[in-house]
Amino acid sequence: MVIDIVKVIVPAASAFFIGIAITPLLTHYLYKYKAWKSTPGKVALDGKEAVEFNKIHKEREGHTPRMGGIVIWGSVVITTLAVWGVSKFFPTETTTKLDFLSRDQTWIPLFTLVFGGVVGFVNDVLDIRGKTNGLALSKRLLAITAMATFIGWWFFEKLEITAVGIPFDGAIDIGLLIIPFFVLTVLALYASGVIDGIDGLSGGVFVTIFLAYAGIAFYQQQINLAAFSATVAGAILAFLWFNIPPARFWMTETGTMSLTLTIVVIAFMTDSLGGGYGIAVLPIIAFLLVATVASVIIQTLSKKFRGKKVFKVAPLHHHFEAIGWPGYKVTMRYWILSIVFALLGGIIALAG
């Protein structure tokens, strides 16, 4: 038990300190090369200017660097490879036990994290250069769908995952449908990446989600997966250290894409594969991400069919800003709620 706890805590702390260490170098180059939007402001889904959003954030978009998410997935990759390298080149009983890179638990989420980070990085670079408004959404969705289809197939074919756990009621077997179900879940949660809109907001929400799943995985004795989840959380805390108001940089697509995709993978791995209910509690643990997507859908449908808006601006966190809440108040209240929902989801997962 003690070595398992150490195995989770050590890489998480390492990722945090590595993230703190590499950030000054990263931000030096981000500011040096003016890694912010060349054309500040946002356009709504209907092609018109997002007036309310631009009133609040347009000015800062012109001088705050993007791509802060590199700190997160970069720290995770460095930490994972460092722990693995030490176990291979300096093998002892302790270093071998600390290695959490494993084919059955961490290869897939690590691949997903890096995949999302790289595709998001390409999008951010194009966005910064201003020649296009980032990578076309259709291309991003195509890349994500292809990746999700492959992983869904891997879950079905290699890991024999065909069921979804139902808390307090066993599981429901859906067979081959697990593949499209996984793809749709990935696409839905990816849309929640727009929560990266206020200083400190996304980091605080994401870190509680990953810590919740680290706890669930640990309870299920998926120690390697728990260590990986905690490592991501540690890296997010390093990002958050520099992202609290006033933010030194923003996470943007290279961070949000990598994290949202990885959350879904971990949720599925803590479900029937771990004898748990990781999928069923995902809407609870990640409730604020779900609410973010829902607010955009509601706003879009209302404008299309009713000709008027439900919120002053969507996503929901910007609505609160538009009605007068300071950004820090929105952020802190989201942090509180994210902790509450993470605890609630975690309790249901463990008790179910």
**Residue 36: per-residue pLDDT:** 87
Q: Quick check: is 329 in a domain?
A: no
Q: How many domains does the chain have?
A: 1
- Contacts of residue 83, defined as CB under 8 A and 6 or more positions apart, other chains included, come to 10, 11, 14, 98, 99, 100, 101
Q: Quick check: is 125 in a domain?
A: yes
> For 46-101, how does the pLDDT look when each residue is reduced to its tens digit (9 = 90+)?
555 555 556 665 566 667 899 999 999 999 999 999 999 999 999 998 899 999 99
> For 301-315, how does the pLDDT look when each residue is reduced to its tens digit (9 = 90+)?
999 899 899 999 999
**Structure-block tokens of residue 332:** 């802190």
Integer-rounded Cα Rg, in Å, for the chain is 20
Q: Quick check: is 298 in a domain?
A: no
Cα angle, residue 64 at apex, residues 202 and 77 outer, rounded to 5°: 55
Q: Quick check: is 328 in a domain?
A: no
Tell me what the mean pLDDT of segment 229-249 comes to: 96
Q: Quick check: is 310 in a domain?
A: no
> For 243-300, how does the pLDDT look when each residue is reduced to its tens digit (9 = 90+)?
998 899 999 999 999 999 999 999 999 999 888 999 999 999 999 999 999 999 999 9
Torsion sign across C-alpha atoms 178, 179, 180, 181: positive
Query: What are the backbone angles phi and psi of residue 138, rounded to the nearest 5°?
Result: -60, -35
Three-class SS state of 62: coil
CB of 106 within 8 A of CB of 262?
Answer: no
Q: Quick check: is 214 in a domain?
A: yes
- Contacts of residue 60, defined as CB under 8 A and 6 or more positions apart, other chains included, come to none
Tell me what the mean pLDDT of segment 216-245 comes to: 97
Torsion sign across C-alpha atoms 336, 339, 343, 346: positive
CA distance 225 to 228: 5
Cα angle, residue 134 at apex, residues 70 and 48 outer, rounded to 5°: 130
> For 25-47, how does the pLDDT look when each residue is reduced to its tens digit (9 = 90+)?
999 999 998 898 766 656 555 55
Q: Quick check: is 24 in a domain?
A: yes
Q: CA-CA distances (angstroms) from residue 141 to 177, 208, 326? A: 20, 26, 33
Range of the domain at 29: 2-279
Q: How confident is the model at residue 342 (pLDDT cuts 50, 70, 90)?
A: very high
**Residue 55: per-residue pLDDT:** 63
Q: Quick check: is 204 in a domain?
A: yes
> For 164-206, how does the pLDDT look when each residue is reduced to its tens digit (9 = 90+)?
999 988 899 999 999 999 999 999 999 999 999 899 999 999 9
CB of 288 within 8 A of CB of 168?
Answer: no
